Amino acid sequence: THLASLREILDSWNVDIEIPFKDYVDKVNMREFGWQITEEGTIDKMSDKIAQACVNGLKNLEIHNYPQPINMEVSLLSVFSGLYGITNEQIRAEGMKNIRQYNKLTPNAEKNYGKASFNGERKPNPWILTKILRYHNKDYYEQTIKPLLRQNYEVKKQQKISDTVQQIEKHEIDLKDPFTLIDVSSKALNGKYENKLELVAQDLLKVIKVVPCQNGWCFIIKEYDCIAGKNTI
């Protein structure tokens, strides 16, 4: 079976490996998903473009000392945690300078500035900054940060698809394995995948092989031949 792209294959199975963008943004900004976790369990690096945009938006805020939930108020600890998570030293330094220059700190925040900085450095997390802006600089978030998050989401989505295709390309199909396209379709219809790209990839490796063809890349799919009584491609 030859299909033009991996997207067509997934669509033919009614498998959606992508979470809607709104859900993605909500997860990025919810308290329990305030950062992006890589497969290695570490916090995903924020791009310089998003980091600079976050620093530019951290202005005209009232910054408190005691850490309340971010949707209620901005705390000094959350600002420091976000800024220390920025890997670009120049952008991070600009953000540190802007804390006092462009924002109003409460007396307690001023008093505990050094302590908050120390604690924030121990818990770096750049994605907190997007959450701060979502609740406390809403117009800027909608106009500047959200489009950048969308762009970041699209890049990562395409990279995941590309990585999956490369895995399939290198993999050999085991015709003795009884797992076939029917099993994939059944799992898809029963909601076994539900935006879980890794599970989709694992099963794709069992039934699909990518090969070069006249128009680019073609996908060969393993299927059960009831007449021959065995799996074929």
pLDDT digits (tens, 9 = 90+) for 124-137: 999 999 999 999 99
pLDDT at position 2: 41
Query: Tokens representing 120?
Result: 């924030």
More confident residue, 158 or 231: 158
Q: How confident is the model at residue 21 (pLDDT cuts 50, 70, 90)?
A: low
Residues 6+ apart with CB under 8 A from 7: 161
Average pLDDT estimate for 48-67: 95
User: Average pLDDT of 106-122?
Assistant: 95
Q: What pLDDT is recorded for position 34?
A: 38
Average pLDDT of every residue of the chain = 78
- Residue 1's pLDDT is what? 41
4 pLDDT band (50/70/90 cuts)?
very low
Domain boundaries, the chain: 6-18+160-232, 34-136
- Residue 225 makes CB contacts below 8 A (sequence gap 6+) with 231, 232
170-218 pLDDT, tens digit per residue, is: 566 767 777 777 787 787 777 777 666 667 777 777 777 766 666 666 7
Torsion of the alpha carbons at 126, 129, 134 and 137, rounded to the nearest 10: -150
| Cβ-contact 223, 231 below 8 angstroms | yes
Confidence of residue 19 (pLDDT cuts 50, 70, 90): low
- The percent of residues in the chain predicted with pLDDT above 90, rounded, is 40
Higher pLDDT, 189 or 101: 101
What integer pLDDT is reported at residue 139 of this predicted model? Answer: 97
Mean pLDDT of 20-47: 57
With a cut of 80, say whether residue 53 has pLDDT above it. Answer: yes
Please, is 101 exposed, middle or buried when counting C-beta atoms within 10 Å of its C-beta (0-12, 13-18, 19+)?
Answer: exposed
CA atoms within 13 A on the CB side of 193: 24
**At 43, is the pLDDT very low, low, confident or very high (cuts 50, 70, 90)?**
confident
